[in-house]
Structure 1
Amino acid sequence: MRKWMKVAGWTAAVLLLAAGGGVLAGLQLADSRMHRKVEVRAPALAYVSDAQAIERGHYLFSSRGCVDCHGANGAGRTFVDDASAGLRIKGPNISPGPGSLVARYRPEDWVRAIRHGVAPGGRPLMIMPSEDYNRFTDADLAALIAYVRSLPPAEGGAAIVALPLPARVLYGFGAIRDAAAKIDHSLPPAAPVAEGVTVQHGAYVANMCLGCHGEHLAGGRIPGGPPDWPPASRLAPGKDSAMDRYPDSESLMRLFRTGKRADGSAVQVMPFTSLREINDTDMRALHLYLRSLPAPKG
């Protein structure tokens, strides 16, 4: 009996050491990933400043999630704060005010950061949903940049990305990826699509859903989200697709405007500050596209 107890004790010790070594390795890999250099060819877009472009940029900033992380004034906003889990995420100041992250941005730096999730020096931006923005047309990207550059100066600071130990280890081992690791950086900019209630325009609008709902809109755990966040809903056809509850565009619009499902229950995690700003054309086109997706085979 004593022999077996001794063996069990040594086995437990070895397993603990292995687990500790795995955690340490994960943290070292995470640090390496966070500071790697991502080579991206990002041709500069010419700055624009006309009223029409700024108005379009304002719409995109308000409706595509920028306001959720950076605040309406661009000064930065804490959008996840869970001290018990060791998780805090705050967007940086991107206004022209004191502490601005973008004060020295060149035209190509804007493209690299927004479209590719990469900082001017090549470091990946940890919390930047560039997979949602990668398919912006050149005109929309230029308009968004124009609006941000037109913001009144506001005081703010750098980004804060405090992740709990498990998230850092998972990131180190590649189970959680930053946007720069998800994007095909070789793709050319998206071709312009005429605005309208069409499947083609709906597909363009649906790019904003990729960060949470996944490349194929199949839903699942939101990468890097707090452990108490529910999984993102499935938007593609198939078993338990959320779109089964929204047979027409008006029902989806009510969800976006109110934050409540068709049965009246509140949705726990969705950026409704932005989603409620999406105009009717984009909403109807998005619904049309999601309902047009083919059902899974088998």
Structure 2
Amino acid sequence: MVAENAQSADPEIIARGAYLAKVADCESCHTAGPDHPPFAGGLPISSPFGVIYSTNITPDPATGIGQYSYEDFSRAVRKGIAKDGRYLYPAMPYPSFAAVLDDDIQALYAYFMEEVKAVNHMPPQTELPFPFNQRWTLMFWNAAFATQKPYKVRTDRNMQWNRGAYLVQGLGHCGACHTPRGLAYQEKAYSESSPEYLSGAVVDNWSTADLTGNNASGLGRWSKAEISTFLETGHSRLGVAFGSMVTVIENSTQYLRKEDLDAIAAYLKSLPLRKSRSSYKPSVTQDQSDKIDLEIGINQFERPGAGLYSGLCAKCHQPNGTGDLPKYPRLSGNSMVLLENPVSIIRQVLEGGKGPLTKNGPIPKEMPGFAKKLSDREIAEVLTFVRNSWGNTAPPVTSRDVSKIRKKCCNTTAPSTHE
């Protein structure tokens, strides 16, 4: 039997809670996989300190949150403290959820207690090595770093901007993945008051997108409409979702109302430019580049990586890097290609993958993996070529970069370099 004060919630409140659970993407982390019951926990989450398993947040009274009062629920979500007083690891983004307002926490509570099916399932226990298994020390971590307060409207901004800021900073917890971490694994910023906020990070061996106004690796060349459409479909003229963002779009953002997607886009477009070593300066106009090969393109086969690109990549991504939208993304001016940290594009080439499947987006095409076909040097050369052609300028990829990612993420041995 679930907590008594969840028994008579208004159906409209429950429905709002269901929507907010989509905004918060609770399902992606608290569901062990597609063949497992939703919200029953057990998903292994990689951290620098070891694997953390997500908890059961169904209203089961024995293994879930069925005995949580509203106060217990609110404290767990916004302060990271379970009903029994145990401190939660900040893999649970409670530092961001601290910004969520009371009415929305109440709606979430009503949804989980009355609408979610109770599942009796005990996920694996998280067992981190000493000293990280001493959860009580998180009391001091929280005091130092979990400093968010409930969101306060900025009167110098309009309603749309404030709605976008509230969603991004709070339930959307975008900073949990897109903001760099400090030495104590804390997010370096929780709002636009810092230039570090949403400037990109590395999470579980993926480099997350720079969401600032950077003109190369960020959103400087994206329109508000393109950002909104990308969150709905996972596709845009400047990139396709990859890595963990695929599940975020499939389980969360594709279900957001258009006005909320537009608000998020308006807020993100307000973030200032952050400098990087990457740049994009096309030598011809967009329309022209769709029709002709650029002078610096693959016709210069003496450039390292150019021949490999011609033989393995150009069929889908085109000789001039313009792709074939929406089936195959362009590489010229692609924000992911121009990220300073190349870990994501290295993983894409090694492992392959495909974009998200959404109700309003195109059917995603699968990219093959080349871990067994290409050596570390060959992958480094072709990626360096892509990152420095058709107006792209980004730091080179080294064989060592590829080797490190291959060891971490692929169960393969690098083949010999083709001569």
Q: Which residue pairs with 2:210 in the alignment?
A: 234
- SS of alignment partner, residue 108 of structure 1: helix
C-alpha displacement at 1:63, in angstroms?
A: 2.5
Q: 1:262 aligns with which of 237, 242, 248?
A: 237
Deviations for 1:125-173, whole angstroms, at most 9, x for unmatched residues? 113111231111111111001101112222222464356x79969x9x9
- Checking the alignment, whether the CA contact within 8 Å between 1:260 and 1:267 is kept in structure 2 is no
Bigger shift: residues 61-70 or 101-110: 101-110
Verify: 1:247 aligned to 2:228, yes or no: no
CA RMSD of aligned residues (A): 3.7
SS where residue 255 of structure 2 aligns? coil
- Could you say what secondary structure the match of 2:126 adopts? strand
Q: Structure 2 matches for 1:75-154, cutoff 5 A?
A: 75-78=40-43, 80=45, 88-97=51-60, 99-126=62-89, 127-150=91-114, 151-154=116-119
Secondary structure of the corresponding residue to residue 105 of structure 2: helix
Residue 99 of structure 1 contacts residue 158 of structure 1 at CA under 8 Å; is this kept in 2?
no
Q: CA deviation at 1:191?
A: 4.7
Aligned to 2:16: 56
- Length-normalised TM-score, structure 2: 0.48
Q: 1:136 to 1:97 in 2, by over 3 A?
A: same
Report the count of equivalent residues: 236
Amino acid at match of 1:283: L
1:211 counterpart residue number: 176
Partner residue in 2 for 1:182? 145
Residues 1:77 and 1:94: Cα distance change in structure 2 (over 3 Å): same
Contact 1:245–1:262 (Cα < 8 Å) also in 2: no
Cα distance, 1:50–1:288 mapped onto 2, change above 3 Å: same
2-side partners of 1:101 and 1:204: how far apart? 28
| Higher relative contact order, structure no. (Cα contacts within 8 Å, ≥ 6 residues apart) | 1
Q: Percent identity?
A: 27
Bigger mean CA offset, 96-105 vs 136-145: 96-105
- 1:292 Cα shift? 1.6
**Distance in 1, Cα, partners of 2:213 & 2:130:** 32
**How many Å apart are 1:111 and its aligned residue?**
1.2
Q: Tell me how far 1:65 sits from its aligned partner.
A: 1.6
Instruction: Give the counterpart of 2:255 among 270, 277, 281.
Output: 277
Extract unaligned runs of 5+ from structure 2. 32-36, 180-188, 190-196, 276-419
Larger C-alpha radius of gyration, 1 or 2? 2
Residues 263 and 288 (structure 1 numbering): CA distance in 2 closer, same or farther, change over 3 Å?
A: closer
- Amino acid in structure 2 at the alignment position of 1:69: C
Pairs within 5 Å for 1:8-19: none
In 2: Cα distance, 1:200 partner to 1:148 partner: 27
Once the two structures are TM-superposed, the CA of residue 110 in structure 1 deviates from its matched residue by: 0.9
Q: Please list every run of 5 or more consecutive structure 1 residues that lacks an aligned counterpart in the other structure.
A: 1-45
1:289 to 259, 263, 267: 267
Cα pair distance change 1:269/1:245, threshold 3 Å:
farther
* Aligned equivalent of 1:200, options 162, 165, 168: 162
Distance in 2 between residues matched to 1:162 and 1:62, nearest whole Å? 29
**Mapping for residues 22-61 of structure 1, pairs under 5 Å:** 49-61=9-21
Of stretches 233-242 and 127-136 in structure 1, the one that deviates more from structure 2 is: 233-242
Match of 1:11 in 2: none
Please say if 1:68 is aligned against 2:28.
yes
Q: Secondary structure at the match of 2:198?
A: coil
Task: With the length of structure 1 as denominator, give the TM-score of the two structures.
Answer: 0.66
Distance (Å, rounded) in 2 between the aligned partners of 1:256 and 1:161 = 32
Question: In 2, are the aligned partners of 1:128 and 1:179 still within 8 Å (CA)?
Answer: no
Q: Report the AA paired with residue 122 of structure 2.
A: G
Instruction: Report Cα offsets for 1:185-239 as digits up to 9, x if no partner.
Output: 6x3x33579xx971111111111212112222222223xxx3xx22222212246
**Residue 126 of structure 2, aligned match among 150, 154, 161:** 161
Q: What is the CA-CA distance between 1:62 and the residue it aligns to?
A: 1.9
Distance, in Å, in 2 between the alignment partners of 1:158 and 1:180 is 29
User: 2:124 and 2:254 mapped to 1: Cα distance?
Assistant: 25
The amino acid that maps onto 1:255 is F
Cα displacement (A) at 1:283: 0.6
State the one-letter code of the partner of 2:211.
L
Match of 1:220 in 2: 201
**Shift in CA distance, 116/275, structure 1 to aligned 2, threshold 3 Å:** same
2-side partners of 1:79 and 1:131: how far apart? Answer: 20
Q: Does the CA contact (< 8 Å) of 1:125 and 1:180 recur in 2? A: no
